[in-house]
Structure formats: structure tokens, C-alpha cells
Amino acid sequence: MAPRAVLIDDNPDDRALVLRELEREFPGLSVEHVLDARGFAALLERGGFDLVVTDYQLRWTDGLSVLNEIKRRYPHVAVIMFTGTGSEEIAVEAMRSGVDEYVIKTPQRLALLRLAARSAIGKAHNRAALAAAETRHRELFETVPVGLYRVEPDAGLTDVNPAFRLMFGIADTEDIAAASVQALFFPPGFDRAAWMASLRSGTVVNRQREVWHSSGEVFWIEESVRAVADARGTVVAYDGVCLDVTARREADLLLRAAKDEAEMAARTKTAFLSMMSHELRTPLNAVIGFAEMLQMQMLGPLGSPRYSEYVRDIHGSATHLLSLVNDLLDVTSIESGRRELHEELVSVARVVDDVLKIIQASATREQLTITTRLPPDLPDIRADPLALRQVLLNLLSNAVKFTRPAGRIDVTADVDRDGRLTIGVRDTGAGMPPQDIPKILSGVSRTANPYVRSRQGAGLGLPITKSLVELHGGRISIDSQPGTGTNVQVVLPADRVMSATRH
């Protein structure tokens, strides 16, 4: 796009020469001629021009006055002084006033006018772009909702934004160079030299420290600072961003205190449950032993048949209570980290067979069918045999407990394509709502299924199973729906599966 030019010269011949040169350089140039003070005043009010070429000697004013007025109103417009007055003093004064080019009005120098016009317009565009960038940066500096500041090595704080003033309670009328303001950011006793020395590497990010508010209260900021160096590598300033993190620090301290308190409560609970579990097992074992002696009538007949019923109830209740105590003991040992794995090579098929022998009587009593599907070449795994047996026993006990008569239980085990061992227990029992599964695995609650709730148990079997599986680096997943049964999958990592090469 061709520039819009203004020619200010009393001599029509000179204007014609200037116009010819400019049109050669800028085809399609739009030009306005100003001949007197009235036309110049109208031009200043109207604006909308990119280049001014003015003579120095004018009947109604002089070129320096024209230059000064234009630069005052339109600082980014390009101005060329094209004059026959070649005074060095005038040229120096014009340069000081911001003229972009100064060309002597002679035939030999007329051709320079085109180059001067191109140069002046380029300078004007650069000034406008720089001014726009500075405006954007200043607007950002003034409006960003975080504290921005500049510190110079010898002067301290030299520039801050409104957010910084608000953060520190500094009135807009206060001079940031004042010692009282400097002391807010660099409180008495603060080692400013060490602060600057820490920035020799160039940047410090998210460093927290104490500062003062103008009210006298101490608060905490988190600052990120970078050193600004000149062309010779000498640090001339430090530019920083700061946030008030007092509330966040207080919340962190409260959270840390609550965490410590919760951990202490958990340790106290674990210690109490562990102690009570050990204390309860001895009398319960005695109750079970005496009940078994009475059932066998080792010291003679009991007399009334109702005594036999009472003894059977006593034995059953004591056995159930001992099972709950053992579950609590398992939970506390796992939570406290005292449960250690005693690993060895374990035959999964043998563990499945052993657990089925234990559970078969209960399954037969409930009229349930148990099937197994294990490949003949199922490899051994590296695991704690007692823990693995407890995992399977808990899963099968749950399946038997919550499956109605004539139901079915399937036990599977195989190695997947990634080398992991998967053990599955699927039943056709009562099932559970999917949204309850996370709570049941964590031991927070038991399922609300009426049939399930009618069965005995503390609901700790699955949490214990999950913990034992995770101790082996594995995971457990449950797929279930009320009335359609439950499918439990235990996956142990590939590094526990003993292939032929691993043996």
C-alpha cells in the first residue's frame, strides 16, 4: 500500500521536484500540499498521513516548528527536512527534535530524497511496531493478576506492577525507592546479596520465602526470578514473578497435621486390634476345646439332649468368632507392614487341589457343583504358598457361601499372552451391585444383597485377598451383577511365573 505524504514548501517548483521523486519511489502515492498555517492546523487535526517532507524556510513558520508539532501530535510519522539551508546548527537541532532524514536541497542531492523517504518510512514503521509492543507489554505488566517486579543490583526494587503493590499494601502514591517500601520485600536481616548470588545460574523457580505487608504482618510468597544480563554478560537486573501462598502454606500445614494425626490413629487402631486379637484367641481356643470334649462326651453323658444342642451352638459360635479374630489379625499385620512373604516355588494346581479338598464338604452340603479347568503344563510360580492358599480359600469360601443350592462354581488358571498368571473363580450366586465392589474390596462396607447379608462373616475376606495379591505385585478384579453371579480374576505378574528357562 502506497504511503500518504504531505509536502510543506512555499516554492511550487521545489514541491514539483519532490513530488516527482516520491512518485518514482512509491507508485500510486497520495500527496497533500500544505501552503500556510491554516492548512497546517487543519492537517494536524485531521491526521491520517505517513510521511511529511518540509522545507526549513517557510513564510509563515520554520521547519523546526513544523517538525516539533508533528512529533508532538504524531510521534511515529516519518519526517524529512528537505531544505536549502544547510546550517549545521539547524541540522543538529532537527536531529534532536526527531527528524528521520535531513537532505540538502541541491540538484546533486535530489536523488537522495527517494532513499531518504524509504528509510524514513521504515524507521517510522519500526517505531510504531516498537511502541505497540511496549504498550502491549506495559498493559500486560499493569493488568496481570500476579506480582511482577524488577530489582537492580545497586538500587533494589525499581519497578513493580499494581498487583505487587496490592499484595504488599503499597499505596500508588508511595515511592518504591523509599526505604520503607524496600524493607517490605527485603525485610531487615534478609541477605539480599545471597538472594542475588543464588541467581547466578540464571533462573530460580517456585522459591518460597517470608516478606512483610505494609500493615506489619508477615506473609509468604512464592517467586520465580531470572537474571537479566547485558551484551557483555554483566547482570543488570533481576525480573521476578511472585504469588501470595500464605493460605496455601497454612492449608498444607493443616493437611500435614491431619495426615500425621490420621496415621497415628491408624497405628493406634492397628496396635489395639493386634493386641486384642492375640488376647481373644487363647480363651476362644479353650472354649472350642472344651466344647469339643463335651460333644465327644469324654467324661460321660451330658444328660438332657438339649445340652448337646447348646454345646453345638457354643462350638459353632466360638469357631466363627475365632475366624473373625484371625481375619482381624491378618488385616492388622498387613496394614502395619508386618506381613512378609516367604516365597518359594509353588504348584498352582496343587494349591487349587488342596483348597478344593477343604471346601468340598461345604459345597456338597449346599448342593453345589465345582469344576476346575487347568492346563496340564501350568507352570509353577514364585509365591508365598500360605498366602496363595488363603487367597483361593477366601474366594472359594465366598463363592460357596453366596451361591444358592444347585448352583455352579468354576475354577480356572492359565498364563496369558503377556506371561502373567490368571486365576479365576466364577459362580452363579447372588452377585453384587458393581458400584459396591470398590467399597467391599476396601472393607468399608458389605454388599446390600439380602441373600448375602443373611450369611455369616465380617466382610474382611476380599480386602485380605486383595492385600495378599498386591503384596505379590498382582491385582484383583471383580465382575458382578445382582442375581447373575460373580467372576473374580487374580492376575500375578509375569516375573513370578516360572517358565522352563527360568527354572
329 plus 379 within the same structural domain: no
- Give one word for 79, left, alpha or beta, with left for phi > 0 and alpha for psi -120 to 50: beta
Q: Are residues 357 and 421 in the same domain?
A: yes
* 214 and 297 housed in the same domain: no
Question: Are residues 160 and 298 both part of a single domain?
Answer: no
Q: What is the DSSP letter of 380?
A: P
Domain contains 250: no
From 96, 121, 141, give the residue that closes a domain: 141
Per the domain annotation, does 503 fall within a domain?
A: no
Q: Do residues 280 and 163 both lie within one domain?
A: no
Same domain, 136 and 156: no
Q: Say if 125 falls within a structural domain.
A: yes
Report the C-alpha gap between 158 and 170 in whole angstroms.
14
The letter for the amino acid at 95 is M
Helix (H, G, I), strand (E, B), or coil: what is residue 6?
Answer: strand
| pLDDT at res. 214 | 95
Q: Is 413 part of a structural domain of the chain?
A: yes
Question: Are 135 and 155 found together in one domain?
Answer: no
Answer for the pair 440, 377: CB distance below 8 angstroms, yes or no. no
CB neighbours (10 Å) of residue 34?
22
pLDDT of residue 203: 86
Give the closest residue to 472 by CA, choosing from 451, 446, 492: 492
Q: Could you tell me if 178 and 198 lie in one domain?
A: yes
The reply to whether 501 falls in a domain is no
Cα–Cα dist 61/56, whole Å: 8
Residues 316 and 375 in one domain: no
The domain of 13 spans: 4-141
The pLDDT assigned to 286 comes to 81
Is residue 249 one of the residues assigned to a domain?
A: no
CATH number at residue 184: 3.30.450.20
Assign 3-class secondary structure to 447-484. CCCHHHHCCCCCCCHHHHHHHHHHHCCCEEEEEEECCC
In a shared domain, residues 331 and 349 = no
- Report the number of distinct structural domains present in the chain: 4
For 437-491, how does the pLDDT look when each residue is reduced to its tens digit (9 = 90+)? 888 887 655 555 444 444 455 467 788 888 889 989 999 999 999 988 999 999 9
Which cell is 168 given?
504488599
The answer to whether residue 238 is domain-embedded is: yes
Domain boundary among 88, 106, 141: 141
pLDDT digits (tens, 9 = 90+) for 65-99: 999 999 999 999 999 999 887 788 899 999 999 99
DSSP per position, 143-183 = H-SSEEEEEETTTEEEEE-HHHHHHHT--TTS-TTSHHHHH
Same domain, 93 and 20: yes
pLDDT at site 502: 43
Same domain, 162 and 176: yes
Class of residue 30 by CB neighbours under 10 A (exposed 0-12, middle 13-18, buried 19+): middle
Return the pLDDT at 447. Answer: 53
Where does a domain end: 125, 141, 157?
141
Give CA–CA dist 496/65, Å, rounded: 92
Query: Do residues 421 and 382 lie in contact, with contact meaning Cβ atoms separated by under 8 Å?
Result: no
Task: Report residues of the chain scoring pLDDT below 50.
Answer: 449-455, 458, 500-503
pLDDT at residue number 440 = 85
Q: Are strands 101-104 and 51-54 parallel, antiparallel or unpaired?
A: unpaired
Which CATH number goes with the domain that contains 14? 3.40.50.2300
Q: Is residue 430 part of a domain?
A: yes
d(CA 252, CA 249) in angstroms, rounded, equals 5
Q: Is the pTM of this model over 0.75?
A: no
- How far is CA 107 from each of CA 15, 55, 79, 114, 187, rounded to the nearest angstrom? 14, 15, 21, 13, 69
What backbone torsions phi and psi does residue 84 show, to the nearest 5 degrees? Answer: -85, -10
pLDDT value at position 451?
A: 47
Q: What is the CATH number of the domain that holds 440?
A: 3.30.565.10
